[in-house]
Amino acid sequence: MDRWSSGRVVLLGDAAYSSSPFSGGGTGLALVGAYLLAGELAAAGWDPRVGFARYEELMRSYVEANQEIGQMHVMSRVVPEPDSEPAPDAEPAPEPDMEAIMAVVERAINGVELPDYAGVPDSAAQPGTPVKP
């Protein structure tokens, strides 16, 4: 998806950035995304335009790396049919670029730094303010 939000609506988890089941990162992505979304909305004073944009800015590279891992895993599982013959002029498959693979894995593991939102005002009632049922 080009964007994960429109107006006051935002997508999160699989709805926004469904990674392949082969990436093994869906739950982690959803939890990190929920944390960042809530924190960035609070930090933006609950302005969805600002909060949603910052959430996406923080998450985008991390999500793309996890999606890339899923794609690489799927491609590594492609095998020829048992009785298929290799093409006579077929070249052997190139060796995987381990440096490039490790760079993607590094982005997927450490791709987002979780801000500390301690001290960011939230929507809770202030002490001493009566809460109406």
In a domain, residue 1? The reply is no
| Phi-psi domain of 131 (left: phi exceeds 0; alpha: psi -120 through 50; beta: other) | beta
Instruction: Report d(CA 53, CA 40) in Å as an integer.
Output: 9
Q: How many domains does the chain have?
A: 1
How many whole angstroms separate alpha carbon 89 and alpha carbon 33? 48
**DSSP code of residue 26:** H
pTM above 0.75, yes or no: no
Q: Residue 49 sits in which domain range?
A: 11-79+98-110
Give the CB-side neighbour count of residue 18, counting CA atoms within 13 A: 5
Let me know if residue 49 belongs to a domain. yes
**Ordered DSSP codes for 46-99:** T-HHHHHHHHHHHHHHHHHHHHHHHHHHHHHT----TTPPPPTTPPPPPPP-HH
CB 18 within 8 A of CB 31: no
- Is 47 contained in some domain? yes
* Per-residue pLDDT reduced to its tens digit, 76-133: 666 667 777 766 676 666 677 778 878 887 887 777 889 999 888 875 545 555 556 5
